[in-house]
Amino acid sequence: MSDTIFRTKTETPVQAEPTVPAKAVGPTPSVTAVEVPYTSYAAAHATPFVVDYFELGDLWNDPSGGFPKEVSTLEEYFTKKIESGELENSTSAIKNKLKEIERLSNMNKDARKVLRVGTAAAYVKFLMDSEDIKFNVRRYSHV
């Protein structure tokens, strides 16, 4: 029995942990701008999103030469779409929808602002009237 060999514990050398270099103290990186929801855009920027999209300037609300009716029609349409859940509450979703409306109405970025805003408002008004008709048909179809 004397020729039996038992294992003996061998110690492994402990490796030193790599040191992490300290971060340089300096100016903090700028925070990227967070997109404001569409429904809060007017409060945050003092103008509705549609005004900034069409670049209407400060006189958009002038009753004699501005676009108050067109802007309110577009704002009403988009707000209803957001409340019903058909559109996301973001300015990028509204921008995409406005581009789609301009494409469907055969408008391009080179057209005059008056024509672009008026055409978009007329198209949206048509869509709202169509939705009202569809709603009334569903509502009174049993009569």
Q: Is the pLDDT of residue 72 over 90?
A: yes
pTM over 0.75: no
Give tens-digit pLDDT for 119-139: 999 999 999 998 888 877 777
**If you average pLDDT over each of 42-51, 58-67, 108-117, which comes out highest?**
42-51
Q: Is the pLDDT of residue 1 over 60?
A: no
What is the domain partition of the chain in residue ranges?
38-140
The mean pLDDT value for 82-106 works out to 93
Work out the percent of the chain whose per-residue pLDDT is above 70: 80
Give tens-digit pLDDT for 12-53: 776 766 666 666 666 665 656 677 899 999 999 889 999 999
The mean pLDDT value for 65-94 works out to 93
Give the C-alpha distances (Å, rounded to integers) separating 111 from 24, 102, 115, 130. 52, 10, 7, 27
Q: Which residue has the higher pLDDT, 71 or 27?
A: 71
